[in-house]
Structure 1
Amino acid sequence: MKRNIKKAVVLGSGIMGSRIACHFANIGLEVLLLDLSPKELSDQEKAKGLSLDSPQVKNRVVNDSLQAAIKSKPSPLYHKDRAALIQTGNFDDDLHKIADYDWVIEAIVENLEIKKSLFEKVEQHRKPGTLITSNTSGIPINLMLEGRSEDFQKHFCGTHFFNPPRYLRLFEVIPTKKTDPEVVDFFLNYGDLYLGKETVLCKDTPAFIANRVGIYGIMSGMHTVEKMGLTVNEVDKLTGPVIGRPKSATFRTMDVVGLDTAVKVAAGLYEGLPKDESRETFKLPKIVKELYDKKWWGDKTKQGYYKKLVNEGKKEILELNLQTFEYESKSKVKLDVLEKTKNEEDLKKRLQLAISDQGKEGDFYRATFFDLFRYCTFRIPEIADELYRIDQAVAAGFGWELGPFETWDAMGVKECVEQMKAMDLAPAAWVDEMLAAGHETFYTYENGQKKYYDIASKAYKVVPGTEGFIYLDAFKENNVVWSNDGATIYDIGDGVLNVEFHTKMNSIGGEVIEGINTAISMAEKEYRGVVIGNEGQNFSAGANLAMLFMYAVDQEFDEIDLMIRQFQQTMTRARFSAVPVVAATSGLALGGGCELSLHCDAIQAHAETYIGLVEVGVGVIPGGGGTKELTMRAADQYMPNDPELNILQEYFMNIATAKVATSAVEARDMDILRGSDRITLNRARLLADAKKRVLELADAGYTMPTQRQDIKVHGRSSMAMFEAGITGMKYGAYISDHDAKIARKLAFVMSGGDLTSPTLVSEDYLLDLEREAFLSLCGEPKTLELIQSVLFKGKPLRN
C-alpha cells in the first residue's frame, strides 16, 4: 500500500508533544495539536469576564504550551515561519477532526488507563487505515491494545522520539504482534527519509533499546563514581567530548533532563526486569538518592549537581561535593588523560589513549566501559536480535558519536575481553565464539559497505538500510588517493573524489588548502567532480586563527597577504574549476567554512547546518571571498530604481553582526543557500546525497563558470547609507569604536570603494578591496585582543 503523510495530529501538548508538532512542521506537514481544556479560569480570564466555554479559554493549555515551545532555545523549529503549519485545538471540540489526518501520535501523560481512555475516543473518529502511534517511553505498547478494533490494532505501534525531537536523531519503532508489517516498514522508511532520524526497530521490552542501555550506563557510572570518590567536574570532563559524548557529559545531562526523570526510568527498570542479571545496578547509589530525596532535581528545581548563583550581576556555577552534599566553587580539573588527548582529533585514537591510561582516569574508563560492554552483550536477543540496533539507538538517542560496540571496536575487542575477564566482567559467550572463529571486530567494511557481525549466522552482513550510504572508513584501506596531515582525498566511486578535513574543528589552514587544490586538479584530469565533506560533528569552524595571530603579532603583513591571497585563490578555484564541486555541510560552517561553501557549485546541507560569516567577531571582515560573494548576490537581486538598497543593507547587517543561520532552512532565508542548493534531513545520507548532486551536475553537461564583470556597486551613496547606521549605533552605545571601524571597512568593500556613482565591477576588484581591508584590520591592537580571546579563552571579547 502506498502511503503519504501530509497531515498529522499530535495528542498532548506537553514538552514532548509540542516539540514533536514543531518537528512535523519542520518537514512541511500540516499539524493539529490537541490537549485538554482547563477546568478552572485563570485570574486574567476572570478579569476579562470569560467563561470556561470561551474558545480562547478552552485552548489555553495547548496555546500556552505551543508558544513556550516556540520561544524555547534552542528552537524546535528550523524557521519561525514553520509555526504557521501548526493549528491548535482541544479534545472536547476538535477530536473529530482527526478523520482528515494521516497519522495520529499520542504524547500525553504516562498513565496506561488515561491513554486507553483517549484511544477509545480516538477510535470513534479515526477513519480506517489511519496510522495511530504512541510516543510512550515507559509503558508496554501491547497493553494499549485492549478493547481496540482489529483495524486500530493493525495500524498501531510505538514511535518513540527522544527529546528534543528536532536535535536528537533517534526514532524508535516498536510494533506489537498485531501490527501490520507494512506499517512497520513504512515507519522505518519514513523516519529515515522524511523525519531525518536514525530509525531503529525495537522489541516491546522495558524502556526499549536506548533508555534500557543508556540508563544502565548512567547508573553503572554513578556507582563507579561513588566507589572511586571522583568529583562532579572530574566526571563531566572525562565523559564529555573527549570520548565522543555531548558537552553536557554525565552530571550536567542529569540536571538538564531532570534527576526525577532518570530515577523514574531506573526504578521502572528495576521493577520490570526481575530476571536481568544486572538488576541491582538500577538501584540508586547515595549520590543519586540523596539529591532525589532533597528534590534537587536539576534545572527544573534550580539546583542539582550544579547550582548557578548571581552575585552583583556576576554569575558563578557551583558544583556539588559528593561527599558532603554541599555546594562549592567548581573544582579545577587537571587530569593526565585530558592532556594526552587534547591535541588528538581522531576519536578512535582518543578512546585508545583513554582505555590504556594507567592512572585513576584509566581505572574509571575501564570500569565503566567494560561493564557497559558486558551488559550490551547479554541484551541480545532480549532487546534486539542484532548488535547494530543497540549502537544505532544508544548513539542517536544520547548524542554519542559511537555506540557501545563501535566504541569497543575502537578500543580493540580482543584486548578488552582479556581485561574484562580479569575484572570479573566477562561478556556473553557469543563474543568468545566470534573471536575464536577469527572475527576480531563487530564491524567491517567491504566494497564500500558497512557490515556487522551477525550472531545467528556467525558471519558479517550489510547493515540493512545503509546500502546507499557513504562511509569514509570504508574507503580508508584501498581508496585513499592522496593525503597530508590536514586532509585526505578518497575515491568514493563513479568518478567522484571526496576531500575530508581532519584538523582541529576542521579549521582551514595551509594543509587543507593544499588538499582542496589537489582534489580539484586530480578531478580535472581523471574524475567527474569533487565532494568536500566529512562525517564529523562540523564541516569547518573557519580559517586557522592561530597562524593568523602569529603573523599579526609579529607584523608579518607580507605573510598575511600571501595567506589571504592563497585562501581567495582556493575559493576561486572551487568556483571556476572544470568539474563540479559540492560542499556537504553539517554542524558548524563558519567564517572560512562558509566562504568555501559559498564558492562551490552547490551546497548539499544537512538540516542542522549552522552557517555564517563570523569574522567580525575576531576583529576582521570576511577575507576569503565572503564579502565579495554577498555583495554580488545582493546586486543580483536589485530592483530597478531601488534607492533603499534594502537587500545590500540586510546582507551588510548579517556580516556586521556575525549572524549565524540556526538551520539550513534559515541559511536559505539569508541567501547563503540558494534555491538550487539542497537540504538533507538524515545526516547519515549527507555524503551520498552530495555525491549524487555532483553526478547530476556532471551529467547535465557541466560548464565551468566565467568570472563576473557586471557586479553593480553604489560607491558613495551606499557608503552614506551605511555610515548613517553605524553612527546611530555608535551614539546609541550599541557598538564600540573598534566595532564601528570594522563596520566602516566592511561598508567600504560592499560599496565598491570610494566611487562617485553606481558602477559595474569585477569579482577580482572586490576581492582586492576585501584583502586590503582584512590586512589593515590585522594591524589593529584591538583586533589582536579579539583573536587572542577566542584562541586562548574560547570566547569573544567586547572591546
Structure 2
Amino acid sequence: MSQLPIRKVAVLGAGVMGAQIAAHLVNAGVDTVLFDLPAKEGPPNGIVDKAIANLGKLSPAPLASKSLAGAITPANYDQHLDLLRGCDLIIEAIAERMDWKKSLYDRIEDHVAPHAIVASNTSGLSINALVEALPESLHARFCGVHFFNPPRYMHLAELIPCGKTRPAVLEGLETFLTTTLGKGVVRAKDTPNFIGNRIGVFSILSTMHHTAQFGLGFDEADALTGPLLGRPKSATYRTADVVGLDTMAHVIKTMADTLPDDPWHTYFKAPDWHTALIEKGALGQKAGAGIFRKIGKNIVVLDLEKQDYRASDRKAADEVVEILKTKNPVEKFARLRASAHPQAQFVWALFRDLFHYSAYHLAGIADTARDVDFAIRWGYGWKLGPFETWQAADWKQVAGWIAEDITAGKAMSTAPLPDWVFDGRSGVHGAAGSFSPARDTDLPRSSLAVYQRQRFPDPLLGERFAPGETAFETDAVRLWHDGDGVAVLNFKTKMNTVSDGVIDGVLRAVDAAERGFRALVVWQPNEPFSAGADLSGAIGLLQAGNLAGLESMVANFQQASQRLKYSLVPVVAAVRGMALGGGCEFQMHSARSVLALESYIGLVEAGVGLLPAGGGLKEIAVRVGANMPASGDLYSGLKPYFDAVAMGKVSGSALEARELGLARPDDVVVFNPFELLHVAKAQALALAESGYRPPLPARAIPVAGKIGISTFKMMLVNMLEGRFISEHDYEIATRIAIVLCGGEVEKGSLVDEDWLLRLEREHFIALAQMPKTQERVMHMLKTGKPLRN
C-alpha cells in the first residue's frame, strides 16, 4: 500500500503553521478543513476566518492564487468535530505544548474515521509520547509530519513514525507528501527536534557562540554565513529575526530540556542579549525590531558594546571573501584553517563544530548521512549538507584537524569523533549509497515506487545519473532521449537564455523530433527554464549598426516559436522557475506546458524598453480572437494581457500564470519539481497516442484595429499625465497596443499570423534603435536591474 486515498484533510490549529499548511493543501487541490477554538466574541469561526484572511497578506504568499482562500472550510472544535469523520488525514498543528496536544487528541478521538491517519506537525516533541493520548486503535495510524516554514516553499517534510505506525501508512503518506504536495521527505527517528532542527538549531547556537568568541558583529557574522557559504541571504541572525526570537528561544529551551546528556548541552541556552531583546518585546521581524531594525530606508543592527543599534555596515573582509570563493574545497578549507584572520577562524570553527556534532549524533538521529544532508539542504536552504561539505573538503584531512582541535580544547565539546570516521573512508556518500552507522554499511536511496517518477532526483555530492543517449549537441543545446520515443531538449547558455545558438538548436530539434521521435520535451536540468532573450547579442548588432542582422535574429526567433507550434509531433514545455520573455514565448507556442508550481512566467521586455517579438504578442492576439465573446468586444479580451505585458507582470506561481493567460487552462501543474520531466514525457506521449496533429494555421484572426489602439492610448495618456509612467513607457506601451490590436486597420478586420509577426518585428526594431531603450538594455546587462528612464 503505497498510495492512500486522501480526498479530504483536516488541519487542527489556525496559527501561523496550521493556516499555511491548509493553504498549501488547497494549492494542491486538496479539500481542506481548518479548525481552531471558537471565538469568544463575534462569529464562532472568527479565529479561523481571520487566519484565512491573513493568508492573502503574507509575503512570501502561502496561497498560489489568492482566490484559493475561499476553498478552505473554516471550523471550530465546539460545533464542527463531526466534519472530521469525512477526513482521510488529520494534521494537528497547534502550539508546542505536550499537554495541549494531548488534550486536543482526547477531544477528537471519538470523531476520527476508522481509516483516517492522524499526524502531528510538532517540530520536536516525542511522537511516541504523543501517541499515548490516543486510543490503541489509532496507534498504527499515527505519526509525525513536520513541515518547515513556510510550508509552500520549503521542500522538506520530516516523516516520523511512532513505535506502532504501520509501514503502509508511512509509505502512503510519503507518496502523498512527495507527489501531491511536492515535498522532499526524510524519515527521521523519534529524537528531540528530529533531524533538521537538531542539526540546524545547533548550527545557529554554534554561530552565536563563535560570534562572541571572535568578537564579530551580528551583521559581520551574517555577511560570512550567507551566500558565501552557499546558504540563504538571510544567513543566521536575519533568519532568527524572521523566525522570531521568542520562537527561537522556545526551540533552544526544548533542546536544553530534552537533551540533558548531550555533550554540547552547556551551549543549549539563549544568550543574555537574546533574552533581553525578548523581554523588551523586540521579537524580530513580526515586532518591527529584533537583532536588526529598519529605520526609514536604513537597516540598523544591535551593537552589544554600545547597547544600542548602529548602522549595519560591517562586511566580510576581502581576504576572507577571496578564501571562501576558492573553487577547490580542499584548498579552501586548508586556507581557512591556516588563516590568522578572526573571520576565517570563525568560519573554520563553525564548520569544525558542525561536522563534529553531526558525526557524533548521526547514529542516534538518522538512518543515513543522506537524511542529514537532505534535511539541512531542504529545510534550511543550504546548497550542501554538512557531510557533503566535509567530504568535498577531504574527509580524512578534515577529520584529523577536528581531532586535533578537540585535543587542544578548541572545539565546543571534548566528545570524541565516532570510530567510523577514522575507518579509512573518504566520505559517507558513494556509488553504493550513503553510510548508516547503525547498520555499518552504505544504504541506497528509497525504492518506494513514487521515486521512479524522478528521472533526475536531487543529487548528493558525487552522484551522477545516466544522462541519456545524445541525439545531437552544440555549444548552446543538447538533444537526448531514453529510448522511449521522447526527445528532450536542454539549453546550455547562462540562465538558459535564448541565443542564436539556442534558436538554431530549437529548429534543429524540431526537425529531428519529426524524423525520429514521437514527441519533443523542452526541459532544463537546472533553473530557470529561461531568463529570456540574449540581450547582449542584440545590443552588439545595434552597436555595429547591423539592423538587418537584428531583424534577421528576430525573424529566426519567430520562426523557432512557429516551428514549436506547428511541429508534426507534440512539443511539451516543462517549466520550472523563471520563464521570462523568450522563455515565456517558447512555452506559449508549445502544444502543452507542464509547469512546476513555482513557475514565474511573464513577458517582461517592456522593462528593457522593448516589446515581445518571439511571437508572444501574436499568440495573445490569436487566443483572444479565437475566444472572442458574442459581443465582439476584442478590447476587453486584450486588456488583461495588455496590462500584464506593458507592466512586465510576472506570475507568482503556475496558477497565477493561468490567471494572467500566459498558461492555458489545460496546462498541467506539478508540485514536485523533480517529477516535472516524468509528467512532461507522459503528457507528450499521451498527445502522441491520441493521434496528435498541430493546429491549423490561423489565417483569419479578428483584431481590435484602430479603435482598440485609440482606447488603449486614452488610458495611457491619463497615466502619462498623472506621472504614473514616463514618456518612454508611453512609447513602448503604445507599440504593444498597436501589435495586439493588429495595426491601423478597421475594427474586426481579419489578419493572419504573418501579419502580426511582421508588426512585432517592425515595432521591436523601432524601439531597439531608440537611445532610451539602449540605455535600459545596457543598464540591465550591467546591473541586472531595470532602469526607468
Structure 2-normalised TM-score?
0.89
* 1:430 pairs with 2:420: yes
Note closer, same or farther for the CA distance 1:318–1:58 as it changes in structure 2 (3 Å cut): same
For residue 749 of structure 1, report the CA deviation from its aligned partner: 0.7
User: Helix, strand or coil: the match of 1:474?
Assistant: coil
Letter in 2 for 1:271: D
Superposition pairs for residues 367-446 of structure 1, below 5 Å?
A: 367-414=349-396, 416-417=398-399, 419-421=401-403, 423-424=405-406, 428-433=418-423, 435=425, 442-444=429-431
Letter in 1 for 2:25: F
Alpha-carbon separation, structure 2, partners of 1:517 and 1:415 = 51
Indicate the larger mover: 328-337 or 218-227.
328-337
Superposition pairs for residues 588-603 of structure 1, below 5 Å?
A: 588-603=578-593
* 1:659 pairs with 2:659: no
Residue 461 of structure 1 corresponds to: 444
Alpha-carbon separation, structure 2, partners of 1:712 and 1:95 = 56
For residue 211 of structure 1, report the CA deviation from its aligned partner: 0.7
Letter in 2 for 1:690: A
Note closer, same or farther for the CA distance 1:70–1:408 as it changes in structure 2 (3 Å cut): same
* 1:673 pairs with 2:663: yes
* 1:196 pairs with 2:182: yes
For residue 798 of structure 1, report the CA deviation from its aligned partner: 3.3
- Cα deviation per residue 1:741-793 (whole Å; 9 max; x = unaligned)? 11110011111111135333332322221122122112223323433443444
For residue 256 of structure 1, report the CA deviation from its aligned partner: 0.8
Alpha-carbon separation, structure 1, partners of 2:470 and 2:424 = 30
Indicate the larger mover: 132-141 or 395-404.
395-404
Residue 683 of structure 2 corresponds to: 693
* 1:744 pairs with 2:731: no
Residue 13 of structure 1 corresponds to: 14
Note closer, same or farther for the CA distance 1:225–1:695 as it changes in structure 2 (3 Å cut): farther
Letter in 2 for 1:642: G
* 1:223 pairs with 2:209: yes
Structure 1: runs of 5 or more not aligned: 42-55, 446-450
Residue 44 of structure 1 corresponds to: none
- Cα deviation per residue 1:96-123 (whole Å; 9 max; x = unaligned)? 3322322222222222112211111112
Letter in 2 for 1:374: H
For residue 225 of structure 1, report the CA deviation from its aligned partner: 3.1
Alpha-carbon separation, structure 1, partners of 2:268 and 2:536 = 47
Aligned residue pairs, count: 768
For residue 150 of structure 1, report the CA deviation from its aligned partner: 1.4
Alpha-carbon separation, structure 2, partners of 1:414 and 1:486 = 39
Q: Is the 8 A contact 1:434 1:440 kept in 2?
A: no
Alpha-carbon separation, structure 2, partners of 1:411 and 1:515 = 38
Residue 199 of structure 2, aligned match among 213, 228, 233: 213
* 1:642 pairs with 2:632: yes
Alpha-carbon separation, structure 1, partners of 2:677 and 2:633 = 43
Note closer, same or farther for the CA distance 1:478–1:671 as it changes in structure 2 (3 Å cut): closer
User: Helix, strand or coil: the match of 2:79?
Assistant: helix
Residue 107 of structure 2 corresponds to: 121
Note closer, same or farther for the CA distance 1:319–1:353 as it changes in structure 2 (3 Å cut): farther
Structure 2: runs of 5 or more not aligned: 458-462
Identity across the alignment (%): 37
For residue 366 of structure 1, report the CA deviation from its aligned partner: 3.6
Residue 318 of structure 1 corresponds to: 300
Indicate the larger mover: 409-418 or 19-28.
409-418
Note closer, same or farther for the CA distance 1:479–1:635 as it changes in structure 2 (3 Å cut): same
Note closer, same or farther for the CA distance 1:101–1:475 as it changes in structure 2 (3 Å cut): closer
Superposition pairs for residues 725-736 of structure 1, below 5 Å?
A: 725-736=715-726
For residue 13 of structure 1, report the CA deviation from its aligned partner: 0.9
Alpha-carbon separation, structure 2, partners of 1:687 and 1:243 = 30
* 1:261 pairs with 2:243: no
* 1:99 pairs with 2:85: yes
Indicate the larger mover: 206-215 or 196-205.
196-205
- Cα deviation per residue 1:291-342 (whole Å; 9 max; x = unaligned)? 45655331123222321111xxxx1222334654543333264654897699
For residue 371 of structure 1, report the CA deviation from its aligned partner: 3.0
Alpha-carbon separation, structure 2, partners of 1:474 and 1:275 = 40
Alpha-carbon separation, structure 2, partners of 1:714 and 1:763 = 15
For residue 476 of structure 1, report the CA deviation from its aligned partner: 6.8
For residue 530 of structure 1, report the CA deviation from its aligned partner: 3.6
Alpha-carbon separation, structure 2, partners of 1:208 and 1:252 = 23
- Cα deviation per residue 1:575-604 (whole Å; 9 max; x = unaligned)? 344544322211222222211221223211
Note closer, same or farther for the CA distance 1:724–1:21 as it changes in structure 2 (3 Å cut): same
Q: Is the 8 A contact 2:323 2:335 kept in 1?
A: no
Q: Is the 8 A contact 2:468 2:481 kept in 1?
A: no
User: Helix, strand or coil: the match of 1:58?
Assistant: coil
Note closer, same or farther for the CA distance 1:267–1:653 as it changes in structure 2 (3 Å cut): same
Residue 65 of structure 2 corresponds to: 79
Indicate the larger mover: 208-217 or 130-139.
130-139
User: Helix, strand or coil: the match of 2:444?
Assistant: strand
Alpha-carbon separation, structure 1, partners of 2:473 and 2:214 = 43
Indicate the larger mover: 672-681 or 365-374.
365-374
Letter in 1 for 2:444: K
- Cα deviation per residue 1:65-94 (whole Å; 9 max; x = unaligned)? 221123222221122222222122322222
Letter in 2 for 1:399: G
For residue 516 of structure 1, report the CA deviation from its aligned partner: 3.9
Q: Is the 8 A contact 1:373 1:427 kept in 2?
A: no
Note closer, same or farther for the CA distance 1:674–1:288 as it changes in structure 2 (3 Å cut): same
Residue 460 of structure 2 corresponds to: none
For residue 277 of structure 1, report the CA deviation from its aligned partner: 3.3
Alpha-carbon separation, structure 2, partners of 1:767 and 1:427 = 67
Note closer, same or farther for the CA distance 1:669–1:247 as it changes in structure 2 (3 Å cut): same
Superposition pairs for residues 137-286 of structure 1, below 5 Å?
A: 137-284=123-270
Note closer, same or farther for the CA distance 1:303–1:512 as it changes in structure 2 (3 Å cut): farther
For residue 206 of structure 1, report the CA deviation from its aligned partner: 0.3
Note closer, same or farther for the CA distance 1:133–1:337 as it changes in structure 2 (3 Å cut): farther
Letter in 1 for 2:149: N
Residue 569 of structure 1 corresponds to: 559
Letter in 2 for 1:252: R
Alpha-carbon separation, structure 2, partners of 1:260 and 1:175 = 28
Note closer, same or farther for the CA distance 1:560–1:260 as it changes in structure 2 (3 Å cut): farther
For residue 692 of structure 1, report the CA deviation from its aligned partner: 2.8
Note closer, same or farther for the CA distance 1:488–1:218 as it changes in structure 2 (3 Å cut): farther
Q: Is the 8 A contact 1:374 1:428 kept in 2?
A: no
Residue 61 of structure 1 corresponds to: 47
Indicate the larger mover: 633-642 or 189-198.
633-642
Letter in 1 for 2:732: I
Residue 471 of structure 1 corresponds to: 456
Alpha-carbon separation, structure 1, partners of 2:573 and 2:38 = 49
Note closer, same or farther for the CA distance 1:334–1:32 as it changes in structure 2 (3 Å cut): closer
Alpha-carbon separation, structure 1, partners of 2:404 and 2:506 = 48
Alpha-carbon separation, structure 2, partners of 1:218 and 1:622 = 46
Residue 584 of structure 1, aligned match among 571, 574, 577: 574
Note closer, same or farther for the CA distance 1:608–1:220 as it changes in structure 2 (3 Å cut): same
Indicate the larger mover: 367-376 or 451-460.
451-460
For residue 124 of structure 1, report the CA deviation from its aligned partner: 3.0
User: Helix, strand or coil: the match of 1:673?
Assistant: coil
Note closer, same or farther for the CA distance 1:511–1:252 as it changes in structure 2 (3 Å cut): farther
Alpha-carbon separation, structure 1, partners of 2:678 and 2:396 = 33
Alpha-carbon separation, structure 1, partners of 2:389 and 2:499 = 30
Alpha-carbon separation, structure 2, partners of 1:232 and 1:114 = 36
Q: Is the 8 A contact 2:611 2:736 kept in 1?
A: yes
Structure 1-normalised TM-score?
0.88
For residue 662 of structure 1, report the CA deviation from its aligned partner: 1.3
Q: Is the 8 A contact 1:714 1:751 kept in 2?
A: yes
Alpha-carbon separation, structure 2, partners of 1:552 and 1:235 = 45
Alpha-carbon separation, structure 1, partners of 2:638 and 2:359 = 59
